[in-house]
Structure 1
Amino acid sequence: MAGELEGKVAVVTGAASGIGLASTKAMLAAGARVVTVDRDGAALKALCSAHGDAVIPLVIDLLDPTDCATLLPRVLQSAGQLDILHANAGAYVGGDLVDADSTAIDRMLNLNINVVMKNVHDVLPHMIERRTGDVIVTSSLAAHFPTPWEPVYASSKWAINCFVQTVRRQVYKHGIRVGSVSPGPVITALLADWPPEKLKEARDSGSLLEAGEVADVVMFMLTRPRSMTIRDVVVLPTNFDL
């Protein structure tokens, strides 16, 4: 895919690890400049050291409304334009609802829903003015199935899946494509809340995805002809249903 995103500027939230990091590396390999957004300044600095000026680090606490609102102005100040937003930052709360911490629920819903909506809301005027742009949101297989072991997380992804599909229908006339990638369980820090026995079973059975495999799907979506929108891709390990 070398050169397929040449001249493009992408923003990836949650870029310091997991799917966000893999997506960042894939876009860099395709020739894009990537504005990496995360709270982990040390990890972003390491990315810059590895990839040079193609990486533009932005340390932003997306859960701070004032800080979150600086995303687009800072992107335009440092890169001049925005072609791609990969709204990837997210959190996970699993287990029985009665055992969930209410503060953790608030944080997860804010990050998985409110922040995504605000980020997309803020970048759309710029994309509309330029009459082009791609927005991809990291959703989840949980957006398509009422997963009994993660009612809070699954609900957040159902909500954002509805958001993606409705906004897509509002902005396609401006040349903007909006879609989501919905992976099954991926080997990232978000699985830290999984019960150990469930995580071991999934690993042993080959029922987990690698972050790079999800990034490959993101690149597939971004590199289709402009006349084609990939509205949602559900990706799961072949052995997941065993």
Structure 2
Amino acid sequence: MGDRFAGKVAAITGGASGIGLATAEALLAEGATVVVVDRDRAALAAIADRHGPSCIAQVTDLLDPASCDAMVPEILEKAGRIDILHCNAGSYIGGDLAETTPAAIDRMLNLNVNAVMKNVHAAIPHMSARGSGDIIVTCSVAGHSAIPWEPVYSGSKWAITCFVQTMRRQLMKQGIRVGQVSPGPVISALLADWPEENLRKAKENGALIEPSEVADAVLFMLSRPRNVTIRDMIVLPSNFDI
């Protein structure tokens, strides 16, 4: 237990599992109040019950426009402010483009790209008025390299890399730091759509990392002095070759 983030309020989308949950628990352990955002009401209730009053549940379906639009105002009503916004929610499509569907493509782009842009858009007035804030987006190594077995996912993450780095330049003079964390493959439900052979080989070769190892990178980024911005941190399993 520590107090590096005592007095800070963090909001984390996709916070009920995987990287989001690991980051929420790491921030809670360091004294932050954390608003855990997810559409899974039951999972949120269990997490909030486990961690006590410093953990605030926020039920939001980012794919529902009205719910997405209401997220930041509802967080501000519950927590009073947002010091840290971690846009972490996302989904995955693997395989050849011809194997997916237009509906699946729409869902991925709406969650991986559009919801991130809308969440950041909603948080900017609050952070700008206070002259301070941190925005972290979970990207991917797929946002830096064209991965042939995941063109839709990789395309969504290239879009996020561009968005994050343009927003970093727009907001730096307002006291708002913007950066992204770009993991390689992480042991989570997000890999359920990976080709079975790729997943098997990755597990056998030790080419996967734990969500907690990505959370460690996020806390490193957030704990730098205010005159330092970590614009991107690529976190790879040592045996992952891309």
Task: Indicate the TM-score class for this superposition, using the shorter chain for normalisation.
Answer: over 0.9
Deviations 1:66-98 (A, max 9, x none): 110111111111111110000000000110001
2:223 corresponding residue in structure 1: 223
Give 2:25's aligned amino acid.
K
Provide the rounded CA distance (Å) in 2 between the counterparts of 1:200 and 1:151.
Answer: 20
* 2:116 maps to 1:116: yes
> Secondary structure of the residue that 1:91 maps to in structure 2?
coil
Q: Secondary structure at the match of 1:78?
A: helix
CA distance in 1, matches of 2:241, 2:105: 28
Which residue is equivalent to 2:5?
Answer: 5
User: Residue by residue, what CA displacement relative to the aligned partner does 1:166-215 show, whole Å, maximum 9, x if unpaired?
Assistant: 00001100110000000000001110001112111100100001000000
RMSD between aligned alpha carbons?
A: 0.9
TM-score, length of structure 2 as denominator length: 0.99
Could you list the runs of 4 or more consecutive aligned residues of structure 1 that deviate by over 6 angstroms after TM superposition? none
Q: In structure 2, how many angstroms separate the alpha carbons of the residues matched to 1:177 and 1:204?
A: 38
CA distance in 2, matches of 1:46, 1:208: 27
Residues 122-137 of structure 1: matches in 2 within 5 Å?
A: 122-137=122-137
Stretches of structure 2 lacking an aligned partner (at least 5 in a row): none
SS state of the match for residue 238, structure 1? coil
1:16-27 correspondence runs (5 A): 16-27=16-27
Partner of 2:214: 214
- Tell me if 1:29 matches 2:34: no
- For residues 87-116 of structure 1, give each alpha carbon's deviation from its aligned partner in whole angstroms, at most 9, with x where no partner exists: 000000110001111111100000000000
Identity of aligned residues (%): 62
* Equivalent in the alignment of 1:94: 94
- How far apart are 1:35 and its partner, in Å? 0.6
Provide the residue aligned with 1:158 in structure 2: 158
The total of aligned residue pairs comes to 242
Please tell me whether the aligned partners of residues 221 and 229 of structure 2 are also in contact (alpha carbons under 8 angstroms): yes
Which one-letter code corresponds to 1:6 in the other structure?
A: A
